[in-house]
A and B are shown apart, each in its own frame.
Chain A
Amino acid sequence: MGDGIQTLHTWERSGLLDDAWSRREFLKFCGRMAVLLGLSDAFIPRIARALETAIQNRRPSIVWLEFQDCAGNTESFTRADSPSVAQAVLEAVSLDYHETLMAAAGHRAEEARHKALEAHRGQVIVVVEGSIPTKDDGIYCTIGGKTALQIIREVEPYALVFVAVGTCAAFGGLPKANPNPTGAVGVEDVVRTKPVINLPGCPANPDVLMGLLVHYLVFNRLPDLDAQRRPLFAFGKRIHDTCERRPHFDAGQFALAFDDYGARQGYCLYKLGCKGPETYNICASLRWNMQASWPVKAGHPCIGCSERDFWDRFTPFYERLPEVRAFGVEQRADRLGGTLVGVTAVGVLAHALYTWAVRRAERKAEELAKKEGEAKPNPPEG
């Protein structure tokens, strides 16, 4: 019990309360963002300055639209590590429309959306959660009597960019899975005049969304994307190459059944159907829910939830990857590896390296905070 209370005391002192504390936490956050975005420590002050300017001026408007969704990405968003959703919504951006979180309802909610669009014409960051049904004139999803398609058309002229958060919004996701009863598609299939950024994942990792927003606030441009419009900072590497269980793959040590000897040793889950070799995402290094864990660490194979059409291409989930020869995985797995250890050593250490880089950036940020503090009288210790 003591630990829990201790944590809460710590929280009481953070964020909302003490300026010196806030400042240090803020700079540490900038440090973590620098690491996430693949920037050097030298960028920490620049990130801090850019964010401060953005915050002092008008905060960027976010209009968050939910269509054929399960609100999983919204829930995920509320679990963001740094900044927390409270910090983001109160200090960094203006979340002007979000059906699950907003106080207003009905006509008043729609009015709030129109107001935000008019006030930020061409500058609105439109986040979309859920797929868009196109069959039968889109009658499978209506809000305020309008179809999802009609709402997209209405919002498009006001948007700066569309951010498709989660695999459904990015690629059609679950509703698009065979036989796609509603003709569901992703945002990129319907938005014609504005850029689309995909943050797939079921759900998307909230810290990646925060990273994207920070990138935009700091550099005033969108991050580099891959061919599937995914930011390279989060989707540049395969799960397989960053997985902490990779040494077991290379050593030919596999779990052959759930809870067998290998599973209890934390061996590789490839033979239980892991889709890590074909999945690009940052789970293994960034982890989930304030770095608590991630699916493979917790004992279940990666189901490849951030990949296009994974519900059809990667099922049955517990069968070994089909068409693995393209990646040479099967051959290596059966012949026992070892020779590739050198190649993958960096990947194996991904989470450790990531954590190390974050700690270094945080130390740097603390030094900055200290320097700043010396220029001012010391606040009383809380």
Chain B
Amino acid sequence: MATIARIDIDETGPVRAVQGFLKTLLARGGVDAVLTPAHLVPAGTVMPTLISDPEALERADPLSPAFPLNAARLVSRLTRGSTSGRHVAAVLRPCEIRAFIELVKLNQGGLDNVLLIGLDCPGAMTNADFRVFGLEGDPLERTREFLRAVAGGESRPGGRSLAGACRVCEHPAPEGADLILGLHGADLDRAIPVLGNTARGEGVLTRLGLPDAPGAPGRREALDALTARNTAARDAMFEATAARTASLAGLAEYLSGCVNCYNCRVACPVCYCKECVFLTDVFDYKPDQYLGWARKRGAIKLPADTVFFHLTRLAHMSTACVGCGQCSNACPNDVPVMELFRTVAERTQGAFGYQPGRSPDEAPPMTVFREDEFSEMTGEAH
């Protein structure tokens, strides 16, 4: 059984080749539709699109540097409580897969009717940058240019920086996917290796009848180099952020641009509450309350609860933070939310030895109670 096949690339380029692969998948892979980033018609940006007509795959472009939102929550909607027996394939970035697995653990989605196709992630641009870069000229050509620049090791592919989150991403390979499009180290003029990563992925791969590949030459090396570079950048970012937010005053200053629009929580793929507690009656203060505060302290900044909101979200979600950076992407005021979350998450996740999105079998730390945990807090080691 082939565990690695390949998608041959002709002169039309890698995006067309991937489109061809997705067509084969629709025809022979036992899926009823494919969720993939696609260019909108008649024009506009790239958005996750659920495609069941093979013709419509002409617009699919999962390799584009566009990352308008994290699609994990869309996949959760396609899978939660599904009993129809219909199957979907979803082409996702590694951070989207990790977020989806977190949602699955929280009963917000299911793995039964979805085939996860993960991308070796070349990184993405912020929405603001992609609007400038991606929307001029032939969109597929722009994607190809971007891929070439990334493969060539350019730090500013297409003249734009990658999004901050991508620059510090230490998980650029889709570990939880059924099938992996092995872009890292691949020669994008010749072929993309497809790796069967789970039993289900291997089964599907066999059915597709793609030509076998001897392996994914150069992938491991490229991945290691990328991971090393990003990890170094990440650690520098941790240090800088930790220094800026070391005191409550520092944190308040760090968040001073925040206008309590809560876009970051809307964009966050793992913030799964039906209604955020900050929108419920819990924070419905009476007018007296505000005036009381103002009287007691002399002055009170409004809207109140800015730091409280971010701290609350950190308390609730930092163990599940997958580092996709959509919070920063969504922020209208350039508050470096991603940096803060990742810096805190590094410690909260580390405290429990927990890596979000690694495996659906790993229970979220707050749902597990172990007597021997945190003996330094509970006092005695029993």
A and B are interacting partners: no
Using a CB–CB distance below 8 Å, which chain A residues touch chain B? none
